[in-house]
Amino acid sequence: MMYPYLTLDDETEIVHSEMLSDNTVKVYIEKPDEKDGFHFASCFLPKYE
């Protein structure tokens, strides 16, 4: 499940997962675009030790 974190003025949305079984967190960034639909990026934050 992804949880909303922040919506910027240009409608870019940043969401994150809960901590996964390997102690990482997925971060997903999505921006609407009239021509292409959406532009997005995702990454995993490394586990905290």
Residues 9-47: tens digit of each pLDDT: 999 999 999 999 999 999 999 999 989 899 999 999 998
Q: What is the DSSP string of 13-25?
A: EEEEEPPPTTS-E
Given this model, what pLDDT does residue 18 score? 96
Our count of domains for the chain comes to 1
**Residue 10 CB-half CA count within 13 A:** 9
Residues 39 and 32: their CA atoms lie apart, in Å, by 6
Domain extent for 7: 2-45
Q: In what order do the strands lie in the sheet with 37-45?
A: 2-7, 13-17, 25-33, 37-45
Q: What is the pTM of this model?
A: 0.81
